[in-house]
Homo-oligomer: A and B are copies of this chain.
Amino acid sequence: MARTLSSDVIDRAEAMFREYLRSRALKYTSERRTLLLEVLRNNEHFEAEQLLISMRHAGKRIAKATIYRTLPLLVDCGVVKQVQFGEKLARYEHTFGQGPHDHMICLRCRRVIEFDSAAAARLRETEAARHRFTAHSHRFQIWGVCSQCR
């Protein structure tokens, strides 16, 4: 779940976030930095409430509203990606883990398996071209049963 953070990742993420904020005349507050670090510590998929709880545990005070207001900024600057597994709540993952990937979700154990998305990205370009569409991103989710559950 949490992992040791390489300072390299922190530096790159922080640079992206700061640059984004600066370009829009927004501020890099201590809450935003704290949240950024918390997000990077989460290797798995996380949600707003979870961030609040683990930050509280770590003794960092932050308002829920601030989390909800900051997450879109992190998405916008590319540090975080929204993933959604058909639930109502918003799930996120940071983009400094393994490379581009999509998700398989086991219907039995709810486990999420990540798989390389290179092929899906190629397919997306093919399909986009066919419809004169300019693709920016995609989401490919596969539901089924994982090997352990069979």
Contact = CB atoms under 8 A, between A and B. Distances in A.
Interface of A: 82, 84, 86, 88, 90, 102, 104, 106-107, 113, 115, 119-120, 123-124, 126-128, 130-147, 150
Contacts of A136: 107, 143-145
Contacts of A106: 133
A134 B128 contact: no
A137 B137 CA distance: 21
A133 B111 CA distance: 12
Given A84-B84, A90-B88, A107-B136, A115 B144 contact: no
B115 A119 contact: no
Given A123-B123, A127-B119, A138-B141, A104 B133 contact: yes
Contacts of A113: 131, 133
A139 to B, nearest CB: 5
Nearest to A126: B119
Given A88-B90, A104-B127, A132 B119 contact: no
